[in-house]
Each structure stands twice: as structure tokens, then as C-alpha cells.
Amino acid sequence: MSNEKIVEIRKLSKTIGKKQIIKNLNLDLHKGEITGFLGPNGAGKTTTIRMMVGLMKPTQGDILIGGKSIRTDFERSIEKVGVIVENPEMYKFMSGYKNLVHFARMHKGVTKARIDEVIQQVGMQNRIKEKVGSYSLGMRQRLGLAQALLNNPEFLILDEPTNGLDPAGIREFRMYLRKVARENDVAIFVSSHLLSEIELLCDRIAIIQNGELIDIKNVNEHQQSRYYIEAKPADQAKQVLEEIGFTVHPHENGYLIDTEPEHIPGAIKLLTAAGVDLYAVQPHRTTLEDQFLEMTGGGEIAQAHTK
């Protein structure tokens, strides 16, 4: 994975009527890296993506793709961009191969060799001559990925790419995306509601709420050392833990504290000395869902836990 920036979003804002939908958004995307774009419904994910592909004009700010501005040099900025929106539209009466030939004509210099290369890359050699109407949704998504790769993009945008796929289809699609990012050094930007899927797929996550970017983090960052403690009286346990200096988060029938394992025996001794009865002390893996709900104050987002 290189650290080369391919996309620079700078002070991006969008106002529709009197409502500011996107507020001063700044984000860099790097080659070879998959960045997830998460947010509650209505947070501004789709508006941001529409501006990135030129379907909406920013009110303020700019997006540079490969150093070219979408505002002043749109055609050159977009020439190395591939896009997959939810359930790509294909000609069902034509074979997968003929669909790719048709879409290849929309780009300069896409050779037959390049078409064969993307077919191989998404693992469709055995079914590519069959009609798209006979494909499963997962196969159509893979064909959509092949189509988006035809012009050798340096930046790939995916909006809800796994909607409607079964767990096996999601896992397969994830494998192909990782392969594309790694082998082609492509920056991939994935907008999704599927928290568990984003966690498995992405290297970094950008979280948007009410049109503002509230956090950008590496996926492995959120898995800090956290412990679940269940004790009674609960209020007294909370007070002791806070006096020791822990930040205490209510969770199920007890509390979560962020700490390293070596601090747990001392905390247990102090709780016991204070007359608190302990029912559970166990490590707790913080999921992306936990963090997301904590950061957005429980903002509505569709949950999915298929792995």
C-alpha cells in the first residue's frame, strides 16, 4: 500500500435551499487503501458521492482527483474514476462479455486484452459468455466491478455495493475488492450501512453525521483494550471505578472501562474492599458498531452482522 494521495476533498460544502447538507468536509484518500464512509441515514453520504462524480456541484470547496479539480478540470479529473452504485444496471438480454464490450466503447483505448484481464480479475471466466439475465445478484455485482475497472481507474467509488447480497456473496465481493486495491494500487471509497462489513473490508473509516466529518480512524485503532464489569450495587461500583480514574460506559447490566489488563487486579481489590459484589470481569472486544453508536449518540443506521 502506497501513501500517495489520489483524492483530496477540501472544505467541501453543499447547501440546498436554506439547509446546509455538507459542512466544510476535508478528507484525503490514498492509493491501495480502502476507506469506508459511514453515517446515519440523511448524514450526507450520498450527497458527498454525487459531488465526487460530478452529479452535483459543490456550493463551496473542491475535490481534487489526481491533482485535477472537479470544478475547473472536470473531464480530466474524472477520467481515472470508476463507479459502482447499488445493483449496477446491465443489458440482461446480452452476455456479460457483450456488456463489457459495450461499456468499453465509452472509454478511450480499452483493448480486448484489457477486457479479458478484468474478467480474470473478478473471476468470471466461466460465465462471461452467458446472458446477464441468468446471473445471480452476486454475479451482476462482479460484472459491475469488472465494468468499473475497464478504464484502469486509480480511484473507485462504491455506493452500497453489497445491498441484497447473501453472506457468501458479500464475502466473495469483499475478496475481489481487496485484490483490486492491493494489485492495482487503487484507492477505494465505500459508502455503506453495513457496519460489520465495513469493519472487515476497510483499512480506514470516515464517519459523517449531520453533514460533518466527526472522525477518521484506522480500523484496528478502535480495538483498544476494554473490560466489561458487572457488579452490585451498580452505582457504588461506578463511583469506585470513577474514583480510580476510569471513564465508565454503561453496557448491558454493567459497565465498560478502557484499560490495560495489568490494571484489572487492582480495580478488583478496590471494588471488593468497598463492599461491592462482583458478578463478571471480562475482556470486551469493541466493535465498530459500539464505537459508531457512541460517537453518533445512537444515530439510526441499519445493522447487519453477516460475516
Per-residue burial over 77-97, b if 16 or more Cβ lie within 10 Å, else e, is bbebbbbbbeebebeeeebbb
The predicted model gives 287-294 an average pLDDT of: 61
Query: What's the order of all strands across the beta sheet hosting 212-218?
Result: 81-85, 155-159, 187-191, 34-38, 204-209, 212-218
Instruction: Walk me through the domains of the chain, giving residue ranges and CATH numbers.
Output: 5-221 (3.40.50.300), 224-284 (3.30.70.980)
Q: In DSSP terms, which residues pair with 290 in a beta bridge?
A: none
Q: CA-CA distance, 231 to 236, in Å (whole number)?
A: 9
What interhelical angle do 167-184 and 137-149 show, nearest 10? 10
pLDDT at position 307 is: 36
Q: Is residue 223 scored above 60 in pLDDT? A: no
Cell (9 digits) for 221: 485503532
Q: Is residue 303 scored above 50 in pLDDT? A: no
**251 CB-near residues (< 8 Å, 6+ apart):** 228, 284
Q: What is the pTM of this model?
A: 0.72
Q: Is residue 47 scored above 60 in pLDDT? A: yes
Enter the DSSP assignment of 130: S
pLDDT at position 22 is: 92
Q: In DSSP terms, which residues pair with 29 in a beta bridge?
A: 7
Considering only residues 194 and 97, tell me which one the structure prediction assigns the higher pLDDT.
97
> What percent of the chain shows pLDDT beyond 90?
37
